[in-house]
Chain A
Amino acid sequence: MIHCEKRSDFVIIEIDGNLDSSNAPEAEKAVLTALGETGNKLVFDFARLAYISSAGLRAVLLGAKTVRERNGKFAISGAGAPIMRVFQLSGLRRHFNCVDTLAEAVEAVK
């Protein structure tokens, strides 16, 4: 399930369960819609994410790149060991600011 929350000037996208080819297009759309024309602060809360595939990585990268192009900030919170393993093995870990808690992620994009 994809849950999207807009707080003052930043966006939190929380994804429960899987982020794969079945829901990645929906996630991409949710990210771009929530950021709108100018949004440039984005947090992915992955505390309840159990599985991500390359389609999911694509959605995360799209969000990260979009805010970076707008000179904004991006963070991922709560990703468990299986998700971190995929970040690591895909080589994308270097592009992602990963922190433990949502509070830390919110602080990081402020």
Chain B
Amino acid sequence: MYFCLENDMDALASLIHNLAEEPAFLSLTPDQQYTLQLALEEMVTNIIKYGYDDGDKHHICIYMDFLPAGGVCVELSDDGHPFNPLVDAQESAIADDLLDQEIGGLGVALVREMTDEVHYRRENGRNILSFIIGGTRK
């Protein structure tokens, strides 16, 4: 399954809305559906917010491979600034005390925790982020 969306938040919202009606999506377990929605929201939001500074339209490509045995492999690709969220994203540590807790920087860590694998590479001028939910790489 392949989607290509423009870099704006409305496009992301409608992608998630449409995805929820796809039979392949509905074949995932509820936890996997949740994780897929969350990982797409977190990662695509990061691209839209931080990937570009030219004000132009860009395309973010999303390829989803639903696995016969259950689970899904997802690949996101964008032509934004070179950015490896697994290394470059500002992540907040969990503080012992609520008063010391940073309130942002939670998204990437959450995706890492909820998915089975996350990988990043830069290829032909594009960022390529892939993740697997409910399976492993062959």
- Listed in ascending order, the chain A residues whose CB lies under 8 Å from chain B are 20-22, 51, 53-55, 57-58, 61-62, 64-65, 68-69, 82, 85-86, 89-92, 94-95
Contact = CB atoms under 8 A, between A and B. Distances in A.
17 contacts: A51-B34, A51-B38, A53-B110, A54-B106, A58-B106, A61-B103, A65-B98, A82-B31, A82-B34, A85-B31, A85-B34, A86-B38, A89-B114, A90-B94, A90-B109, A92-B94, A92-B101
A54 B31 contact: no
Tell me if A's interface is mostly helix, strand, loop or mixed: helix
B110 A86 contact: yes
B45 A21 contact: yes
B99 interface: yes
A27 B87 CA distance: 30
Tell me if B's interface is mostly helix, strand, loop or mixed: helix
Interface string B77-107: 0000000000000000010001101011011
Contacts of B107: 53-55
Contacts of B99: 65, 68-69
B116 interface: no
Contacts, number: 61
A91 B94 contact: yes
Contacts of B45: 21, 55
Contacts of A61: 101, 103
B114 to A, nearest CB: 6
Contacts of B109: 90-91
Contacts of A85: 31, 34
A20 B15 CA distance: 14
A71 to B, nearest CB: 11
A82 B34 CA distance: 8
A95 B95 CA distance: 9
Most buried by A among B38, B99, B103, B104: B103
B65 interface: no
A110 to B, nearest CB: 20
A65 B92 CA distance: 15
